[in-house]
Amino acid sequence: MVIKRFASLCAVAVCLAAAAPVGPNASATPFFRNPVVLSIAPDTVDCDNPDDPDNVEDVQIAGLCFFGSITAAYLTLNTDGSGTQIPLSNVVNVARNLITATIPLGQLTERDVPYYVFVVRGTDGKLSTAYPNAFGFDVTFSCTAALTPGPGDSPVLTSCKVVRTGAGRFVLQVNGPSFIAGRSIVLIDGQPCRKNKYPKRFINPSDGTTTRINCYDRLKDLLPAPVTVQYQEGIISSNSLLCDF
């Protein structure tokens, strides 16, 4: 208990500014340094094929001088926190220097480009420090660039996942860089899925390709099993994935 309290006091001491404001209007309240972001996890995601059906990613952000008082967090392409901000939702202080938050992947338009991570401390409104931070490194979040084979190529599978809808129905989500919407069929152990759906938000309007196919079938009876994708022209995916609950 004593060791834990001592560690807490040391952490506060680190966050005290070297020089507090002086003058007739100076406050007696301690003057604390700006928050410092040290890490975000995960820091790289395939934003075109998200695991979450709501197209979001839950992350943990750790740092110093958070004081359990972080009220906002955002991403930006600028190292000083300026420019267009992409706000994170569901910001929760889970520990004195650790928060969880949710990134809206649909708002991240850049691929293989770093988005810098910033937080705001609610007690005094201070923004976390610019990058590189006090320890000499950047903390960023990135969307990986997916391969985009042409419609005449064999489809490629990158991931598969079973999710449960609000109505309690199981759906097999099959993801890949470029399926042909309306002409791609999921095969479970070589057998066509009963119903294939192509969510509109995953379809590229410029060429009609999609990064996701939803398969509706007797999944509890059929999985685990190898899963492939076949075009109506008979072209089968160059790889298969073992999908399970």
pLDDT given for residue 183 in this prediction: 87
Which of the residues in the chain have pLDDT under 70? 1-13, 17-30, 145-152
Helix (H, G, I), strand (E, B) or coil at 48: coil
Same fold, 32-143 and 159-243: yes
Question: What's the confidence (pLDDT) of residue 187?
Answer: 97
pLDDT at 161: 94
The ranges assigned to domains in the chain are 32-143, 159-243
pTM score, whole prediction: 0.58
Rounded CA gap, 105 and 92, in Å? 19
What is the reported pLDDT for 11? 55
Residue 67: strand pairing partners? none
pLDDT for 17? 66
Q: For residue 68, give both structure tokens.
A: 């359990």
Q: CATH topology for 32-143?
A: Immunoglobulin-like (2.60.40)
Which pLDDT does position 51 carry in this prediction? 74
β-sheet bridge partners, residue 57? 103
- Give 158-194 pLDDT, tens digit per residue: 999 999 988 889 999 999 998 988 889 999 999 999 9
Cis peptide bond N-terminal to 114, omega within 30: no
How is residue 215 annotated by DSSP? E
What's residue 185's pLDDT? Answer: 95
Which whole-number Å values give the CA distances from 55 to 1, 73, 195, 197, in the listed order? 42, 18, 22, 17
Structure token pair of residue 43: 């820091």
Q: What pLDDT does 30 receive?
A: 65
What's the CATH number for 159-243? 2.60.40.10
